[in-house]
Amino acid sequence: MILIIDFGSQFNQLIARRVRECRVYCQIVPPTITAGEIQSLAPEGIILSGGPASIYEKNSPKIDPAIFSMGIPVLGICYGMQFMVGALGGEVARSNKREYGFAHLRVRSQTDALFQGIDGETPCWMSHGDAIVKLPRGFKITASTANTAIAATVHAKKRFYGLQFHPEVEHTPKGKAMLHNFLFRVCGCSASWTMTSFARDAVADIQATVGDKKLIMGLSGGVDSSVTAALIHKAIGKQQTCIFVDNGLLRKEEAKKLKVVLKQHLKLNIRFVNVQTLFLKALAGVEDPEKKRKIIGKIFMDVFEAEAKKIRDAEFLGQGTLYPDVIESQSAFGGPTAVIKSHHNVGGLPKKMKLKLVEPLKYLFKDEVRRLGKTLKLPDELVWRQPFPGPGLAIRIIGQVTGKRLGILRDVDAILLEEIRAGGFYRKLWQSFAVLLPLKSVGIMGDHRTYENIVAIRAVTSKDAMTADWAKLPHKLLGQISNRIINEVRGVNRVVYDISSKPPSTIEWE
């Protein structure tokens, strides 16, 4: 196992993904972790992440320097390298010339373990305003750029490595090879972490945790909750009861389709609860998106709690929390990994329910969850289902949510997904959906003037939703989508396409 110390870098998840891609398990932990806790975890290596702070600032993040006397290999990246150098007696100062973006790396020592198989000259991605001006005793320079004399360093005997650039980003083409070298040549890791091994260990852990008690699971039909439910079912079978709440904010005929798929393929014990009227009544006249979320969340919890009370002696609650949910919900020294939003999957359990959480996927990324779903033999229609927000179509309707407006958006959404699938793009996209705007525009249909609704189409590519780019869909496909929506959905006379990336925009509109 590899431990990644979070110093607040925007690239922490990328580091973890690169390690996981090498089939080595890793965890991101805060710098407040103690040396004793690290020792008990017995990692094969430690990676110190980058971060926005300077090590000489008063409140800059620090980790117990005792980690450098534990005999564990350490790789410091950017701020992590500077912290290691400073902690071991070197000096870091503000650079005369900051370095951001591409740089030309000159490797001095290709015999060094980290640079074996790497060309003598290679591009790298820099992002720093400080520089190392003096190395600690025993360290040597292994790479430089025109602006940064100490772009990489090593203390070979202690297996301490430092990189001033970011090997985890795509802009450092040989970065993956460098991380691979650290994992296998330096740390001696084995590429043994697979979804098969994860499933085996997770099942054993669930069985040990739950024992002969009962567990309740909120099931939405999304890939996260479906895989979680399937994994828990594999562990404890009929001790699990799933609750599916139909809030009336789902896609066209979604509840009916999911009922068939979930019952047929997962063989779960599921209770379907139809409370559409309750949600729509509570949302009447509400336009503020945060109020919508709170109303929907509260009613869902009330309904879920009422249903849960019918299951006597239940002691556990299963949740499909993923690793990005956990990471985004933790603060990290004012850096980009600081809290962005509160997740409904993290800390959303009412205290009065007094159920203990079981979150078997909380250390997995979305692509790993899909691979786990295939390992558990779930059907493709569940495994490759695009993410759908907990509040449903309510947050894809800008303004008031009414039965009529839901009907319009459902019809638009159905056409959009039908065309995306027919064009072969569904599995290539992270998400594709429609948004009903609180605007109307003038149009001409036949010989008649119209004044109807505008819908926006949103399609993005991403690996984990932390960042996303708008999808460059073919113009012919976009034209076909627009033509069908305007011709087939009464009440819409204009379609626009969202070409915003995340950041600065979010994926969803509300």
Could you name the CATH architecture of 2-186? 3-Layer(aba) Sandwich (3.40)
Residue 448's pLDDT is what?
81
Grade residue 130 by pLDDT with cuts at 50, 70 and 90.
confident
Kindly report the length of the chain. 510
Residue 347's pLDDT is what?
45
Report pLDDT digits (tens) over 182-193: 999 999 999 999
The CATH label, of 3.30.110.30, 3.40.1280.30, 3.40.50.620, 3.20.20.140, for the domain at 195-383 is 3.40.50.620
Q: Is 353 exposed, middle or buried (0-12, 13-18, 19+ CB in 10 A)?
A: middle
Cα(252)–Cα(246) distance, integer angstroms: 12
3-state DSSP assignment of residue 507: coil
CA-CA distances (angstroms) from residue 115 to 4, 112, 157, 161, 352? 21, 6, 16, 11, 55
The CATH label, of 3.40.50.720, 3.30.300.10, 1.10.10.410, 1.20.59.20, for the domain at 402-497 is 3.30.300.10
Q: What is the DSSP string of 122-154?
A: EEEEEEEEEEEEEPPTT-EEEEE-SS-S-SEEE
Catalytic residue among 128, 166, 233, 344: 166
Distance of CA 285 to the CA centre of its chain: 33
Report pLDDT digits (tens) over 139-162: 999 999 988 999 999 999 999 999
Domain residue ranges in the chain = 2-186, 195-383, 402-497
Catalytic residue among 44, 99, 168, 368: 168
Q: Is 343 a residue whose pLDDT tops 60?
A: no
Residue 489's pLDDT is what?
96
Q: Is 335 a residue whose pLDDT tops 50?
A: no
Annotation marks residue 315 as catalytic: no
Annotation marks residue 26 as catalytic: no
* Percent of the chain whose predicted confidence (pLDDT) is above 70: 94
Annotation marks residue 168 as catalytic: yes
Q: Residues 6 or more apart from 352 whose CB is under 8 A from it?
A: 305
Residue 115's pLDDT is what?
95
Average pLDDT over every residue of 58-64 = 91
Q: What pTM did the predictor assign?
A: 0.81
* Nearest to 327, CA basis, from 340, 318, 317: 340
Q: Which two tokens stand for residue 121?
A: 């000259």
Report pLDDT digits (tens) over 468-495: 999 999 999 999 999 999 999 999 999 9
Residue 324's pLDDT is what?
76
Least confident of 91-100, 273-282, 328-337, 446-455: 328-337
Catalytic residue among 26, 44, 78, 187: 78
Q: Do domains 2-186 and 195-383 have the same CATH topology?
A: yes
